[in-house]
Amino acid sequence: MSHFGRSLVRLVFVIVSAGAMVAAALVGVAYSTGRLVHDTATATEVRLPDLVTAAQVPSVIYAANGSVMATLRSALNRQPVALDQISPVLIDAVLDTEDHSFWLHGGMDVESVVRAMLADVNAGSVVQGGSTIAEQLVKGLYLTDQKTISRKVREAVLAERLEDKYSKAQILDAYLNFVYLGNGAYGVQAAAKEYFDKGADRIDVAQAALLAGLIQAPSGYDPITNPLGARERRSEVLSRMVLYKSITPAQAVIANETPLPTVVHDAPGISYTINGYYVDQVVNELLANPALGATSEERVSALFAGGLKIYTNDVPSLQAYAQDVSVRDIPSSLSDVVSAFAVLDPRTGNVEALVGGPHPGTDQFDDATQGQRQPGSGFKLFTLIAALEMGYNVYDSVLATSPCAVLFPGVPEANGYNLNRLMNNDPGDPNGVVSIVEATALSINCAFLRLAHQVGLSKVINVAHSMGLTDLTLNPMNPSLVIGSEAVKPLEMAAAYATVADGGIYHSPRFVSRVVDDTGNVIYNGEGPGRRVFSAQVAAEALVALRAVVQYGTGTAAALSNADVAGKTGTTENSVDAWFNGITPTVASSVWLGDPKGEVPMYVNGVEVYGADYPTQIWHDVMQYVLAHSSYIAFPTPDTYDLPPVKYIYSASLEEDDLLSHDGVGATACVWDGELVPCATTTTTTTVPPGPRRAPTQAGGIAPTSPSPTSPVHTPAATPVVTTP
């Protein structure tokens, strides 16, 4: 007869004997010996799976320099270790408390079973005590928590079968890695880190007694929530360890005087070390990444319990400096105003710092990635790129005269600009005719509205989407979007401007560099080639206009001594939002300033706040820190042989749709092919589209041309042309 067969016979004998001794009581319990034998037999049919305890290991997020940013833990934290990696005193504490005779008996301890049955027989069907390590293991692996004699019988049978199949060491190893010890920790390794921030191999006497005591009631003896109960239970365990000579009485005295842990080191969820804004973006990016699993459940499991090593692009020194500047550069009188921005590498899209507000790790809302506010004139970038793609020259001229009321083809008049809804340039901006460069540098609204009329609102929106704006509700029936009435996110604006810095290649903002699984394999590499949106030539032409913003326009405060800077300021009506979108060849950022609670006008000492003020200052200070040790970095210049002819931007439809009809009212000069020429006294209805790109007739410059008899000659308003250096 096999060992298991002999054990089964012994179990039945014990049950029958117990039934004879307490026959009357068993009648009250309503169980017959026959039923118990039936339970014994059916338990032999349960398939025993392999004793493999699946790991549930926290994942760790690292900054670019290797420092830990956060730890991600599930509510089930299990970190299996081998038996020889567990402190011997911890093993003794568990066995002395739960099953002192573990190495001597089989799957069940007959003496304990009989004692427990006799003690509980008067309590109906409830059974307590008498469970061996093997029985506790099979109860957790294969059975329910229902406390009945039937379950107790099945538990004993399965324990005997377990002992027949596995060695004592294998069973003990599985148990120590399986048992629940509170606060989401399963197994002694996870619990050791949870309560003591150390491995199970380094546990001392006092710590071992505390952990062993938790097995009976993890929440009841929780040292954090019930220190008195935990201390009493630890003392009981120490007494048993003295009884079984695992420790001396003197050791027990010392252990009893040891302070209990007061904090949990590995609580479920996200434990932030630095910059919660950045960590949250890493988590969001990976929860949507199929590399971690096909379903959302698989990705959550991998991220919070897969033991992943997640390496990010966060630069801690830059992050700390940017966070400090974001608060320091805002006047104290703007008490409710915050700034938000991301700093990224335009060549890769790598996000090196993220400021979502003044309180990383505590604020749940991230204004840099979740906030949507009107960008003001920063949105003019998309009209500029659209025009250059259509063949316009950055030196083309356009009427800037204010006020303007321009109807757009296909847009109902109620949506467009009419005589009752005029658009004005900022005070001091030039009227008459200006180049696209000047219109960009000085942020002239009416010039860009007329340019957008020629380009088309749908084209402007398509360009914005191609450069990373994800809002699909941009309205082609809303002409005011040209000057920034549609809300955007700072992170997306930074990536859009970075596209220009990288020669027309768009890179999605990337927070994660790579992800390594628990076996050391790279399962995700965050680097990507980017996507070309427009040509390097168009990008270089756009840079001419955007650099002018910093050279002599609204963004002069952004200038750096060791790098070309290009960008665009933006301010919304009543100074509710203020922006600076800036790029260098190696760094890009869009800084937003405003009240996150709503559209609140910003004033300092009675003066309106503009994008050229504090947002530009924040941008400048952060970039100066980033590039402190860099030699001069320059943007590429346009290929002059690939520039189209310079022209005056005009069409019959524009003249018809410009309701104020500034044409033919008497200024003294117009810009034509980059030169100042007399304006005609009449206009023509001939439409001249953007010309083809051609080589200039003079090396290094634009070919001089003169108006031809058939070319449109536009007579601007009575205000003479204002030229800007």
> The domain that contains 161 carries what CATH number?
1.10.3810.10
Residues 242, 313, single domain; the answer is: no
> For the whole prediction, is pTM greater than 0.75?
no
What pLDDT is attached to residue 148? 57
Q: What is the distance, to the nearest Å, from the Cα of residue 475 to the centroid of all Cα atoms in its chain?
A: 28
Which residue shows structure tokens 């930074």? Answer: 494
Between 341 and 126, name the one with better pLDDT.
Answer: 341
Return the amino acid letter for 42.
Answer: T
Q: What average pLDDT does this structure show over 567-584?
A: 96
The reply to whether 82 and 69 lie within a common domain is no
Domain check: are 281 and 415 in the same one? no
Residue ending a domain, choose from 587, 606, 637: 637
Q: For 369, phi and psi rounded to 5 degrees? A: -110, -20
Distance between CA 255 and CA 278 in Å, rounded?
Answer: 43
Chain Cα centroid distance, residue 35: 58
Average pLDDT for 149-165:
75
Higher pLDDT, 269 or 367: 367
Q: Which position has the higher pLDDT, 495 or 137?
A: 495
The pLDDT, as a whole number, for residue 244 is: 95
Decide if 381 is inside a domain: no
Note whether 196 and 310 are same-domain residues.
Answer: no
Instruction: Please check whether residues 136 and 234 belong to one and the same domain.
Output: yes
Phi and psi, residue 712, nearest 5°: -70, 135
Q: Determine the average pLDDT of the residues in 195-223.
A: 94
**C-alpha–C-alpha distance, residues 347 and 13, integer Å:** 79
Give the model's confidence band at 610: pLDDT under 50 very low, under 70 low, under 90 confident, else very high. Answer: very high
Q: Is the pLDDT of residue 695 over 60?
A: no
Q: Minimal CA–CA distance to 357: which of 339, 369, 374, 372?
A: 339
Of the pLDDT bands very low, low, confident and very high (cuts 50, 70, 90), residue 507 is very high
Per-residue pLDDT for 716 more than 60?
no
List the 588-594 sheet strands across, edge first. Answer: 351-355, 338-344, 588-594, 577-583, 566-571
The SS3 of residue 361 is coil
Residue 472 pLDDT grade (very low, low, confident, very high; cuts 50, 70, 90): confident
Which of the two residues, 450 and 655, has the higher pLDDT score?
A: 450
| Domain shared by 243 and 291, yes or no | no
Residue 648 lies in a domain: yes
Q: Which of 637, 671, 687 is the last residue of a domain?
A: 637
238 and 332 part of one domain = no
pLDDT at 35: 46
Is 388 within a domain? no
Q: Which of 59-68, 390-399, 540-549, 714-723 has the lowest mean pLDDT?
A: 714-723
385 falls within a domain = no
Q: Identity (one letter) of the amino acid at 233?
A: R
**Same-domain pairing of 683 and 701:** yes
* Residue with more model confidence, 239 or 683: 239
Which has the higher per-residue pLDDT, 36 or 243?
243
pLDDT at 8 over 90: no
In a domain, 125, yes or no: yes
Q: Are 562 and 519 in contact (CB under 8 A)?
A: no
CA dihedral 351, 353, 359, 365 (to 10 degrees): -10
Using the predicted structure, report yes or no on whether residue 713 has a pLDDT greater than 80: no
* pLDDT per position as a tens digit, 656-674: 888 775 554 433 334 344 3
Residue at which a domain ends, from 605, 637, 669:
637
Mean pLDDT, the chain, whole residue set? 81
Domain boundaries, position 414: 395-474+639-725
Q: What is the mean pLDDT of residues 35-61?
A: 62
Query: Do 562 and 622 sit in the same domain of this protein?
Result: yes
Query: According to the model, what pLDDT value does residue 209 have?
Result: 97
CA distance 669 to 646: 16
Axis-axis angle for helices 33-43, 3-21 (nearest 10): 160
Per-residue pLDDT tens for 94-147?
999 999 988 887 545 556 556 555 555 554 443 334 588 888 888 777 655 555
Higher pLDDT, 146 or 232: 232
How many structural domains compose the chain? Answer: 3
**Burial category of 27 from C-beta neighbours within 10 Å (exposed 0-12, middle 13-18, buried 19 and up):** exposed
Is residue 524 in a domain?
Answer: yes
Of the listed ranges 32-36, 233-237, 509-513, 697-701, the least confidently predicted one is 697-701
CA distance 619 to 555: 11
CB atoms within 10 A of CB 528: 11
d(Cα 465, Cα 8) in Å, to the nearest integer? 73
Least confident of 68-72, 74-78, 378-382: 74-78
- In residues, how long is the chain? 725
CA-wise closest residue to 134 among 114, 153, 156, 110: 156
What per-residue string of b and e applies to 417-435 under the rule 16 or more CB within 10 Å gives b?
Answer: beeeeebebeeebbbbbbb
- Tens of pLDDT, residue by residue over 163-174, are 888 889 998 998
Q: What is the pLDDT of residue 345?
A: 98
Mean pLDDT, range 584-611, rounded to an integer: 95
Average pLDDT on 566-590 reads 97
Residue 422 scores a pLDDT above 80? no
- Percent of the chain residues topping a pLDDT of 70: 76
pLDDT classification of 53: cutoffs 50, 70, 90: low
Predicted local distance difference test score (pLDDT) of residue 673:
44
Contact at 8 Å (CB) between 436 and 395?
A: yes
Q: 588 falls in which pLDDT band (50, 70, 90)? A: very high
Q: How far is CA 466 from CA 493, 529, 532, 534, in A?
A: 12, 16, 9, 9
The DSSP code for 404 is B
Same domain, 60 and 23: no
Please return the burial class of 407, using the count of CB atoms within 10 Å of its CB with bins 0-12, 13-18 and 19+: buried
Could you tell me the pLDDT band of residue 369, with boundaries at 50, 70 and 90? very high
Q: How far apart are CA 721 and CA 454, in angstroms?
A: 22
Highest mean pLDDT among 284-293, 356-365, 425-434: 284-293
Statement to judge: residues 503 and 358 lie in one domain? yes
> Is 504 inside any structural domain?
yes
pLDDT on residue 128:
38
Identify whether 539 is part of a domain.
Answer: no
Residue 148: strand, helix, or coil: coil
Q: Is the dihedral of CA 264, 269, 275, 279 positive or negative?
A: positive
pLDDT at 312 exceeding the cut of 90: yes
In the predicted model, what is the mean pLDDT of residues 550-560?
97
Among 18-32, 353-367, 548-562, 637-651, name the one with the lowest average pLDDT.
18-32
Amino acid at 610: Y
Q: What is the CATH number of the domain that holds 328?
A: 3.40.710.10
Do 217 and 133 share a structural domain? yes
**Amino acid sitting at position 537:** Q
Range with the poorest average pLDDT among 201-205, 321-325, 336-340, 691-695? 691-695
pLDDT given at position 602 = 96
Report pLDDT for 10.
52
Most confident of 250-254, 470-474, 660-664: 250-254
CA-nearest of 133, 143, 84, 85 to 106 is 133
CA nearest neighbour of 679 among 432, 392, 406: 432
- Integer Cα distance of 107 and 124 in angstroms: 25
User: Mind listing the pLDDT tens digit for each residue in 434-471?
Assistant: 999 999 999 999 999 999 999 999 999 999 999 999 98
